[in-house]
């Protein structure tokens, strides 16, 4: 098993490097500007904005505490959306993308069973997305050191893992659609739409009461980027991912593999 994982990680090394660097710098620079916002007059400006918009760019309290700032400015929008895009790309590229190119046909002609191939690729996807999530975590720590602020690292790790879980779930939606249909474009399109619609619904639900029921189907509803992680929400996110994985594997095991000819 380790050989397929290492091959994938080796092949994706430049992608990992650039994403790692990008997310790391994003986190460092975001943290670096915290003192500017904390000491500025941003609170009064934010008060004048509608609640739904405040939800998107972060409520006023988040600009005053380092915890609130990390939660709102890094883990509310930028990192989860960015990592969800990466997750969808990785899951679609490694599964339906390789299938479309004909690589899965070659892999299956070796001693790899279908489940084994999927588990290898799943593990490689988790490692890649996990590494980039870690970049956000490391970036925040570097940023905190630069501005001489402290924050509970355990809590930062919890938020990061929660973010990783959310992004993996979006990737697993792409995986599920790919496994059922074998179509790469469909997998990317539907899962990307699900990310953005989910985010919009959850960010607007506090202002639009009719969105309360659709919000239950949004993964962002179960995502906590704050200090308190809800066990029930974690359970929902974990179960959702597992269901996508199991259904995806079952359908992939039953259907024909797409070939390049």
Interface ranges with other proteins (CB under 8 A): 3, 7, 11, 101-103, 105-106, 108-114, 116, 254-257, 259-261
Closest to other proteins by CB, 43 vs 258, is 258
Closest to other proteins by CB, 228 vs 254, is 254
Closest to other proteins by CB, 19 vs 222, is 19
**Shortest Cβ distance from residue 184 to other proteins (Å)?**
15
**Shortest Cβ distance from residue 111 to other proteins (Å)?**
5
Closest to other proteins by CB, 181 vs 238, is 181
* Residues 50 and 39: beta-carbon distance below 8 Å: no
- 83: closest CA among 178, 166, 191? 166
**Shortest Cβ distance from residue 87 to other proteins (Å)?**
21
- 133: closest CA among 66, 72, 74? 74
* Residues 63 and 37: beta-carbon distance below 8 Å: yes
**What letters, b where the CB count within 10 A reaches 16 and e where it falls short, cover 56-77?**
bebbbebbebbbbbbbbbbbbb
**Shortest Cβ distance from residue 92 to other proteins (Å)?**
17
* Residues 223 and 233: beta-carbon distance below 8 Å: yes
Instruction: Write out the two tokens for 250.
Output: 């079952």
**What letters, b where the CB count within 10 A reaches 16 and e where it falls short, cover 174-196?**
bbbbbbbbbbbebbbebbbebbe
**Shortest Cβ distance from residue 121 to other proteins (Å)?**
13
**Shortest Cβ distance from residue 140 to other proteins (Å)?**
33
- 162: closest CA among 218, 224, 220? 224
Please state, in angstroms and rounded to a whole number, the distance separating the CA atoms of residues 60 and 82. 23
């Amino acid at each position: 098993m380790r050989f397929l994982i290492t091959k994938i990680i080796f092949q994706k090394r430049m992608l990992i490097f650039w994403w790692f660097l990008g997310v790391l710098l994003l986190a460092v620079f975001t943290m670096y500007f915290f003192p500017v916002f904390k000491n500025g007059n941003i609170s009064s400006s934010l008060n004048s904005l509608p609640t739904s918009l405040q939800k998107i760019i972060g409520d006023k309290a988040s600009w005053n505490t380092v915890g609130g700032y990390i939660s709102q400015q890094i883990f509310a929008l930028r990192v989860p959306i960015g990592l969800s895009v990466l997750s969808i790309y990785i899951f679609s590229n490694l599964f339906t993308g390789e299938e479309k190119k004909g690589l899965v046909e070659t892999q299956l002609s070796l001693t790899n069973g279908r489940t084994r191939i999927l588990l290898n690729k799943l593990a490689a996807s988790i490692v890649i997305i996990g590494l980039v999530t870690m970049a956000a975590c490391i970036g925040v720590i570097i940023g905190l050191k630069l501005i001489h602020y402290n924050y509970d690292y355990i809590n930062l790790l919890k938020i990061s893992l929660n973010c990783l879980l959310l992004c993996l779930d979006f990737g697993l939606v792409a995986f599920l659609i790919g496994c059922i249909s074998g179509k790469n474009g469909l997998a990317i399109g539907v899962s990307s739409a699900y990310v953005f619609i989910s985010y919009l619904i959850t960010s607007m639900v506090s202002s639009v009461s009719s969105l309360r029921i659709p919000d239950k189907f949004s993964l962002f509803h179960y995502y906590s980027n704050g200090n308190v992680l809800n066990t029930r929400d974690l359970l929902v996110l974990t179960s959702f991912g597992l269901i996508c994985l199991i259904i995806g594997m079952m359908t992939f095991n039953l259907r024909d593999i797409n070939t390049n000819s």
